[in-house]
Amino acid sequence: MLDLNNARRTAAPVISQFAPRDHHIERAGLGYARPLTDDEIMRTAPAIYADAAHGSRSDRYAYIPTRDLVAGMRAEGFMPVKVSQAQARAEDRAGFAKHLIRFRREDQLAAAEAREVVIVNSHDGSSGFRLMAGVFRLVCANGLIVGQSDNEIRVRHSGNAVGQVIEGAYSIVKDFDRVTEQIETMKALELKPEHRLAFGRAALALRFDDPEHCGIKPDQIIRPLRQEDRRADLWTTFNVAQERIIRGGLRGWRTDANGRPSRATTREVKGIDQNVALNRGLWVLAAEMQKLAA
């Protein structure tokens, strides 16, 4: 059976304490065919350009601005293509909140399945630098985060953190061959209907604490939105489930304790930590399904 406990261990510890910041850049400015400009980054994630750390940080906290990291990554050929920022609960932390940046090399800008380096940071102490591997799938415009938590690189706010983060980015790029090999194996694995349904059931359990009463059925999680996704291989099933889980909008009916029915609609997952956690959990589920169905 699928190791859902392993997936939950990957996902559960990093549920976001922030409400999501509403952010929007027009499709032409998303950076999926070109890098984002500083102005576009500033509009969406102003904390990246914070002039100092939040006042709650002690003298032991080394302020290392994310803008320096962006400049350093650009100099090394890593271009920012997507950013987002969490909304802090306290108003005075708004300009220092957790933020996420997705970087690509030039040869990946227009790729159908682009390899990315995903970096999370903050200036209020809620996060040090975290680096992860990402894949952007053009057909559904969903940004995956791949690999398990033990593949993540963390850098503290001290010393030459920018240099360490750039070194970490190169380590992730070197690991892309392994990620590509895993993806190709998933593409080659055709799933039986019962395996696809099991994946949907496990994915639903990752998203909701009480999946049996959330009003959404497992088959909705694996139902494709477009013709290109009407395939039964593991990679496509994984991507369909990820898009359904993250984007929300699924509708169903649930019953309360008194047996009264009510409509249920899933919400989009915008929180940075929850998005990362669910992506990580889904990757673990896919790896477990690969063992089960091979």
The β-bridge relationship of strands 142-146 and 153-155 is unpaired
**Residue whose token pair is 């963390």:** 154
Candidates 86, 88, 49, 99; CA nearest to 71 is 49
Domain boundaries, the chain: 4-176, 186-293
Q: What is the pLDDT of residue 141?
A: 63
Q: What is the pLDDT of residue 60?
A: 60
Q: What pLDDT does 219 receive?
A: 96
Confidence (pLDDT) at 22: 33
Q: Model confidence over 211-243: pLDDT tens digits? A: 888 999 999 999 998 888 899 999 999 999 999
| Ranges under pLDDT 70 in the chain | 1-33, 52-63, 88-96, 125-126, 139-142, 147-151
pTM of the predicted model, to two decimals?
Answer: 0.79
End-to-end CA separation in angstroms for the chain: 13
The confidence score (pLDDT) of residue 169 equals 92
Mode of pairing for the β-strands spanning 113-121 and 19-20: unpaired
Please count the CA atoms within 13 angstroms of the CA of 43 that sit on its side-chain side.
11
Burial of 55: CB neighbours in 10 Å, binned 0-12, 13-18, 19+: exposed
170 near 117, Cβ under 8 Å? no
Contact 22, 85 (CB under 8 A): no
Q: Under DSSP, is residue 153 helix (H, G, I), strand (E, B) or coil?
A: strand
Q: Which of 50, 55, 58 is nearest to 95 (CA)?
A: 50
Confidence (pLDDT) at 29: 36
Give the span between the Cα atoms of 200 and 185, in whole angstroms. Answer: 20
pLDDT for position 32:
57
